[in-house]
Copies of this chain bind each other. A is one copy, B any other.
Amino acid sequence: MPETRPQTRRQKVEKKEQAIIAAARVIFQKNGFEKAKIADIAKSSGVAEGTVYTYFENKNALLFAVAVEFYDRLTRDAALGIKDISITYERLQFLARHHLERVSKEWQMLALAMLPDKVSNEYRKTEGYQLNRTYVEVFDTVIREGINRGEIRSDIPLSVVRDIFYGGLEYGARTMRIHASTTDIDQTITHFMEVLKGGIFQQINQQKPQDESLEKMMSRLESATAKLEAIAR
């Protein structure tokens, strides 16, 4: 038998790799990348220092592994979340909240992962870029669809919309972090979306005022209600 218990060995190795990544995530988040010591990560995951280097080329590669895991979760949950939302405005609202919540909670990750000279330098530039690319693709798709449906204005390049969206949210997250007492996530999202509504959404009821806009809002209300029904199901 080439494999006694299928992959007993490989399983063990994989488990150990995960343990190291998990320990690294915790310690990176607690201390930041620089202050995090390989020695601590090793101890915390129950291996010797040298062992870490049989799994990861160096400290940066370890950070990268942590970042991959983070982005995977982030992307998966984003894609999942918009799955059964159909209205562009609500989709963006969900994505905004999702991003703000995650970034508020795990901002160290994002800061580290984005750092040009850490993860994404040299040979890793492409990989790091791709991670972010995949994540943002969820957003991009929502915008493109929104444009097709006539809900989003088509005269602003996608990249500008994206930068305002994620840039604004990242700074917003920092503001919330610094002024935790005076800012809350709901208010922030509400106002953020308010700006987007004027800035990137198609202005529908410019000419035809009352009836039609009321009708549209009614549809939105019905859609929201339907969603609640589905959840309460």
Contacts and interface: CB of A to CB of B under 8 A. Distances in A.
A223 interface: yes
A193 interface: yes
Interface stretch (A17-25, A50-58, A67-75, A198-206): A198-206
A1 interface: no
B191 A195 contact: no
B225 A194 contact: no
Contact of A172 (B160, B199, B225): B160
Contact of A213 (B203, B207, B219): B207
Contacts of A174: 163
A155 interface: yes
B159 A223 contact: no
Interface string A164-192: 10111111101100110001001111111
B117 A35 contact: yes
Q: Give the copy number.
A: 2
Contacts of A198: 198-200, 203
Interface of A is mostly: helix
A5 interface: no
B228 A231 contact: yes
A183 B170 contact: no
A214 to B, nearest CB: 6
Given A163-B175, A214-B214, 6 more contacts: A160-B188, A193-B219, A195-B199, A224-B225, A225-B227, A228-B228
